[in-house]
């Protein structure tokens, strides 16, 4: 039963990676996906490592030299990806409920495109909801800044 849970949970993470990879047209070195579920609030975000730069989803074209190969980083496309990721989070919640497992409060996924490898980090304690002036968006932005400094 645990193996089935792991498979379903992993499939949902893989779907998140797939949609983010499609958004960037398979032209990134790494994909970073942030998922949060605290106080019944779902939040997600994603960003990339492209051409030696860590860039947010709406700034993809800042990381390329060849403007002929521009990314479609339109708000509509961003919304489509966010909706899919948020639906995946909802499905993760259902899978956790179905298998009597605790849903993580935070999931950080790092997908290395060249190696086809996924690293996942989970937290189960509150990350921001117990801090008055902090949101999931703040936590995601902090992670973005940390990765930007590290790479």
pLDDT at 1: 60
pLDDT at 28: 94
pLDDT at 68: 67
Calpha distance 80→43 (Å, rounded):
14
In total, the chain counts a number of residues equal to: 151
* Order of strands across the sheet that contains 106-112: 53-56, 41-50, 30-38, 106-112, 117-123
CA 60, 71, 9 angle in degrees (round to 5)?
75
Q: In which residue ranges of the chain is pLDDT below 50?
A: none
Using only C-alpha atoms, the chain has a radius of gyration, in whole angstroms, of 16
pLDDT at 144: 98
State the number of CA atoms in the 13 A half-sphere of 27 facing the CB.
Answer: 16
> Contact, 27 vs 124, CB < 8 A?
no
- Which two structure tokens, joined as six digits, stand for 39? 């106080």
Please report the domains of the chain, with CATH numbers, ordered by start residue: 2-150 (3.30.500.20)
pLDDT at 65: 81
Q: Please, is 65 exposed, middle or buried when counting C-beta atoms within 10 Å of its C-beta (0-12, 13-18, 19+)?
A: exposed
pTM, rounded to two decimals: 0.95
């Amino acid at each position: 039963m645990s193996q089935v849970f792991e498979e379903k949970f992993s499939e949902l993470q893989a779907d998140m990676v797939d949609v983010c990879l499609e958004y960037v047209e398979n032209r990134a070195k790494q994909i970073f996906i942030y998922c949060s579920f605290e106080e019944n609030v779902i939040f997600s975000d994603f960003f990339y490592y492209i051409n030696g730069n860590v860039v947010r989803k709406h700034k993809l074209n800042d990381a390329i030299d060849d403007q002929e190969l521009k990314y479609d980083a339109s708000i509509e496309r961003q919304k489509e990806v966010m909706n899919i990721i948020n639906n995946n989070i909802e499905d993760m919640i259902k899978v956790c409920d179905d298998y009597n497992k605790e849903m993580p409060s935070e999931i950080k996924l790092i997908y290395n495109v060249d190696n086809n490898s996924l690293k996942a980090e989970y937290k189960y304690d509150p990350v921001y909801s117990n801090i008055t002036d902090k949101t999931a968006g703040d936590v995601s932005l902090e992670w973005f800044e940390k990765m930007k400094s590290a790479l």
